[in-house]
């Protein structure tokens, strides 16, 4: 038998596996108690949007920041309803940077499909909203390349013309980003300094309708800090401070909240330093104080400062006496540079560790209270007790250690009484609960409407037939009509259930592998494309399954449709034996000599064109383990339900590597037109040389091969 040519697979990355997912979920949740209205101008994007104070840069409190570090277009799409629900005046979108930096979704097609879905939903649900698509910025970080960024920007520009959206070319204005020098537009070749944001803001000012407040003479001031922290600080140095302002200075928790929205006061300004729990050390807080307060020569002393800092050290092992001393240095610097400013020391929140709370957080907070009691113009605010239950962070307000949407609303309620003169009023529990419920149901419905954006359309395995997609999209008008009106959460929830069922049914129509029978055999490799590109391999006729990097006949499988109609038998090419679907949870799959009583099913995975392999009964699912388990194929799934579509080890790429016709005699020839559809089957000429597409038309069967005769 001739040696087979094997298709090499590119490694695909699963979106949800990115390291900063907990931060992103916490940030998305922080948006949910916030109201968007018809006056709002919403900036949507990833960390490049997230780390800038847009409303201050334009001195326009109607500007809302909905950027989230690490966000990819799929997540933006999944959380879009908290924006569309308010029918905002304008949306400024910048998305795609992280898609192009993530293997497997780093394609123009992926970005454009999701931006198309965003624009479709915006135009149908909020037709009066002006839409602006900002180009993806230059970057040399990771796998991003100039060619793919420019190609994607070209496609986005063309897409805008189709939808009547305004395309804004920022790429050509910010080509110096990849140089990543401390005095330039970026420190890391991806994110921006104040100098970069100033170019950006001036470019879009005519569309925003406000001027940028950054002076042309302003320089990057970073307090000796580098990376994203240093870049964020440079913006603080160019933002004005007025005598009526309240500055909220701190680390991750502060950065994650949109405080002028939570407290309904444009006098409250965010000076949180970073994303990602627990945030930076107190030394960085100390370094930024002079830049925040004296970065501009025309700055005034603010009316009040709220200080929440020290989480990193308190959660660590540094002696508490040292942490308190470092915190006191920050307090002294604030009082030196702003002696007339009222200063509030906020207690650190509890974390989800009772021992740390008892031994470190509570003693540290007690020290803060004692510090405040001994200083004029300084007051302590207890932001610990309202959040603790049984010595743990109350998970009504937190997920793990991350403050969530209800928690941010609760913080606004605690702080508002101290900001009465600034006109602050809190986000109530009733408002938070109402908006959270509304956005949850709208997002559930919206995700069902946008399901086709993540599907690969075509006629190959793992794709969806164009007619199938078209029929689904034609059924969406009813849902768009509900979302464009002021429907209640209950009305939307009822419709969401219907469309979620339709979306699930649509996804099940993924094009399946070709079924082998007595006339023709289709041999596939089954590759863990998200986990080291390993191929499911039988170790012996009655052996076990494991993932290997090489491909031979032991790593080739055919799908035989069962007579009972309940699914497939999975048969190995080398041994002719069957995978046994009866397998204990968290145990290795074995082979058996005869057809099993239970069937395998191929169903859609979370990643486009990939499948999960599970059983029709018994909650059994294939999972490619890691080196810790020597790459064995286990029965494993989250919740032990056999229906895990998201775990990297559960998602497989099926590739047709050989087709053998078994019902004809050797050397006999038959017109290929009489054959069933072959999909991606290899084609050979009479000498055994494999032909690459496009394949000539004179195709025949010879010696049980599909061959070409000139």
**What pLDDT digit, counting tens, does each position of 435-456 carry?**
999 999 999 999 999 999 889 8
Is the Cβ–Cβ distance between 371 and 332 less than 8 Å? Answer: no
Closest CA to 123 of 370, 413, 480: 480
| Per-residue pLDDT reduced to its tens digit, 492-532 | 999 999 999 999 999 999 999 999 998 899 999 999 999 99
- Supply the pLDDT for residue 662: 77
Contacts 24+ apart (CB under 8 A), 626-631: 626/531, 626/532, 630/546, 631/532, 631/534, 631/546, 631/547, 631/548
3-state secondary structure of 563: coil
How many helical (H) and strand (E) elements, i.e. helices and strands, does the chain have? 22, 30
**486-495: Cβ within 8 A, 24+ apart:** 488/438, 489/434, 489/437, 489/438, 489/440, 489/441, 489/442, 490/441, 492/438, 492/441, 492/442, 492/444, 492/445, 493/441, 493/444, 495/445
For residue 38, the model assigns a pLDDT of: 98
Sequence-separated (6 or more) residues with CB below 8 Å from residue 132? 90, 91, 92, 93, 165, 166, 167, 168, 204, 207
Task: Report pLDDT for 140.
Answer: 86
Q: What is the mean pLDDT of the chain?
A: 90
Report residue 92: phi and psi, to 5°: -105, 115
136: Cα separation from own chain's centroid: 17
User: How far is Cα of residue 418 from the mean position of the Cα atoms in its chain?
Assistant: 36
DSSP 29: H
- Please, which residues have CB within 8 angstroms of residue 540's CB and are 6 or more apart in sequence? 575, 591
**What is the dihedral angle through the alpha carbons of 616, 619, 621, 623, rounded to the nearest 10 degrees?**
180
**∠ CA 381-304-275 to the nearest 5 degrees?**
70
Is pLDDT above 80 for 664? Answer: no
- Higher-confidence position of 192 and 669: 192
Q: What percent of the chain has pLDDT over 70?
A: 90
Whether 575 and 556 have beta carbons less than 8 Å apart is answered as no
Count of all residues that appear for the chain in the document: 710
Round to whole Å and give the CA distance between 267 and 420: 11
Q: In what helix (H) or strand (E) does residue 524 lie, and over which residues does it extend?
A: strand 520-528
Average pLDDT over residues 10-22: 43
Backbone angles phi, psi at 342, to 5 degrees: -75, 130
Quick: pLDDT tens for 223-268: 999 999 999 999 999 999 999 999 999 999 999 999 999 999 999 9
CA 477 to CA 483: how far, in whole Å? 10
Average pLDDT over residues 188-216: 97
Q: What is the rounded CA–CA span in Å between residue 49 and residue 371?
A: 37
Tokens of 226: 């580098």
At 140-153, the pLDDT tens digits run: 899 999 999 999 99
C-alpha–C-alpha distance, residues 444 and 645, integer Å: 18
Q: Could you tell me if residue 180 is left (phi over 0), alpha (psi between -120 and 50 degrees) or otherwise beta?
A: left
d(CA 437, CA 442): 9
CA nearest 115: which of 76, 69, 172, 68? 76
Distance (Å) of CA 497 to CA 32, 125, 443, 449: 21, 19, 12, 12
φ/ψ (deg, to 5) at 271: -125, 40
| Backbone angles phi and psi of 245, in degrees to 5 | -75, 155
Q: Spell out where 88-226 has E strands.
A: 90-94, 130-134, 166-168
The single residue listed with the structure tokens 């305004």 is 166
List, in sequence order, every residue forming a beta bridge with 700; answer none if it has no partner.
671, 707
Tell whether the model's pLDDT for residue 686 goes beyond 80: no
- The CA distances from residue 282 to 186, 308, 312, 534, in Å, are 24, 10, 8, 45
Closest CA to 268 of 529, 535, 56: 56
User: What is the model's pLDDT at position 673?
Assistant: 39
Q: Which residues contact 406 (CB under 8 A, 6 or more apart)?
A: 33, 396, 397, 429, 432, 433, 436
Q: What is the pLDDT of residue 677?
A: 39
3-class SS string, 282-338:
HHHHHHHHHHHHHCCCCCCCCCEEEEECCHHHHCCCCCHHHHHHHHHHHHHHHHHHC
pLDDT tier for residue 670 given thresholds of 50, 70 and 90: very low
Distance, CA of 553 to CA of 537 (rounded, Å): 9
452 DSSP 8-state letter: G
Q: 1: Cβ–Cβ under 8 A, 6 or more apart, which residues?
A: none
Predicted confidence (pLDDT) at residue 191 exceeds the cutoff of 50: yes
Helices (H), 556-706: none
Question: Is residue 181 very low, low, confident or very high in pLDDT (cuts 50, 70, 90)?
Answer: low
Confidence of residue 486 (pLDDT cuts 50, 70, 90): confident
CB 685 within 8 A of CB 708: yes
* Structure-block tokens of residue 231: 């870049």
Indicate whether 705 pLDDT > 90. no
Cα separation, 319 vs 227, whole angstroms: 27
Cβ-in-10-Å burial (0-12, 13-18, 19+) of 309 comes to buried
Q: What is the pLDDT of residues 330-368, one digit of tens each?
A: 999 999 999 999 999 999 999 999 999 999 999 999 999
Q: What global pTM score does this model have?
A: 0.84
């Amino acid at each position: 038998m001739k040696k087979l040519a094997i298709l090499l697979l590119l490694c695909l990355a699963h979106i949800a596996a990115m390291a900063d997912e907990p931060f992103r979920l916490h940030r998305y949740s922080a948006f949910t108690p916030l109201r968007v209205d018809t006056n709002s101008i919403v900036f949507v994007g990833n960390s490049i949007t997230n780390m800038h104070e847009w409303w201050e840069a334009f001195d326009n409190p109607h500007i809302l920041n909905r950027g989230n570090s690490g966000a990819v277009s799929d997540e933006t799409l999944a959380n879009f309803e908290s924006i569309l629900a308010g029918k905002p005046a304008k949306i400024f979108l910048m998305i795609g940077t992280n898609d192009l930096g993530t293997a497997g979704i780093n394609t123009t097609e992926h970005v454009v499909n999701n931006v198309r879905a965003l624009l479709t939903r915006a135009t149908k649900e909020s037709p009066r909203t002006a839409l602006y698509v900002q180009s993806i910025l230059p970057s040399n970080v990771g796998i991003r390349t100039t060619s793919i960024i420019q190609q994607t920007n070209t496609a986005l520009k063309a897409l805008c013309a189709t939808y009547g959206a305004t395309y804004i070319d920022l790429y050509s204005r910010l080509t110096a980003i990849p140089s990543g020098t401390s005095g330039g537009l970026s420190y890391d070749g991806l994110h921006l300094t104040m100098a970069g944001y100033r170019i950006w803001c001036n470019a879009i000012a005519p569309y925003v309708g406000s001027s940028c407040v950054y002076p042309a003479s302003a320089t990057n001031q970073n307090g000796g800090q580098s990376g994203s922290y240093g870049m964020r600080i440079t913006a603080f140095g160019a933002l004005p401070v007025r005598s009526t302002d309240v500055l909220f200075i701190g680390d991750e928790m502060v950065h994650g909240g949109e405080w002028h929205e939570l407290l309904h006061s444009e006098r409250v300004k965010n000076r949180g330093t970073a994303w990602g729990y627990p945030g930076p050390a107190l030394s960085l807080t100390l370094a930024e104080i002079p830049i925040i307060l004296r970065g501009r020569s025309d700055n005034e002393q603010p009316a009040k400062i709220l200080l929440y800092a020290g989480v990193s050290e308190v959660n660590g092992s540094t002696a508490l006496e040292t942490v308190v001393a470092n915190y006191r240095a920050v307090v002294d610097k604030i009082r030196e540079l702003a002696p007339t400013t009222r200063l509030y020391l906020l207690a650190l929140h509890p974390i989800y560790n009772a021992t740390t709370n008892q031994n470190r957080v509570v003693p540290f907070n007690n020290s803060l209270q004692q510090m405040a009691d001994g200083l004029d113009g300084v007051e302590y605010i207890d932001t610990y007790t309202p959040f603790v239950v049984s010595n743990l962070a109350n998970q009504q307000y937190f997920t793990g250690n991350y403050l969530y949407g209800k928690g941010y609303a609760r913080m606004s309620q605690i702080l508002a009484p101290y900001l009465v003169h600034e006109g602050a009023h809190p986000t109530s529990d009733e408002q938070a609960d109402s908006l959270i419920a509304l956005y949850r149901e709208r997002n559930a419905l919206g995700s069902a409407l946008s399901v086709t954006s993540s599907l690969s359309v075509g006629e190959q395995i793992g794709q969806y037939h164009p007619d199938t997609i078209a029929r689904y999209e034609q059924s969406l008008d009813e849902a768009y009509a509900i979302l464009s009106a002021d429907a209640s959460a209950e009305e939307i929830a009822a419709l969401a259930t219907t469309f979620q069922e339709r979306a699930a049914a649509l996804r099940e129509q993924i094009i399946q592998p070709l079924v082998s029978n007595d006339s023709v055999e289709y041999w596939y490799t089954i590759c863990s494309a998200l986990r080291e590109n390993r191929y499911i391999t039988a170790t012996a006729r009655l052996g076990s399954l494991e993932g290997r990097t090489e491909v031979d006949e032991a790593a080739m499988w055919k799908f035989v449709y069962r007579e009972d109609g309940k699914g497939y038998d999975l048969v190995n090419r080398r041994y002719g034996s069957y995978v046994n679907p009866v397998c204990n949870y968290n145990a290795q799959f074995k082979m058996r000599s005869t057809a099993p009583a239970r069937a395998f099913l191929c169903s859609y995975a979370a990643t486009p064109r990939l499948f999960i392999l599970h059983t029709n009964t018994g909650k059994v699912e294939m999972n490619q383990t890691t080196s810790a388990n020597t790459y064995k194929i286990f029965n494993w799934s989250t919740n032990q339900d056999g229906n895990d579509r998201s775990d990297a080890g559960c998602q497989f790429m099926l590739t047709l590597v050989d087709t053998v016709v078994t019902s004809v005699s050797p050397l006999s020839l038959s017109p290929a037109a009489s054959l069933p559809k072959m999909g991606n089957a290899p084609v050979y000429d009479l000498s055994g040389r494999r032909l690459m597409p496009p394949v000539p038309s004179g195709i025949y069967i010879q010696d049980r091969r599909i061959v070409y005769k000139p």
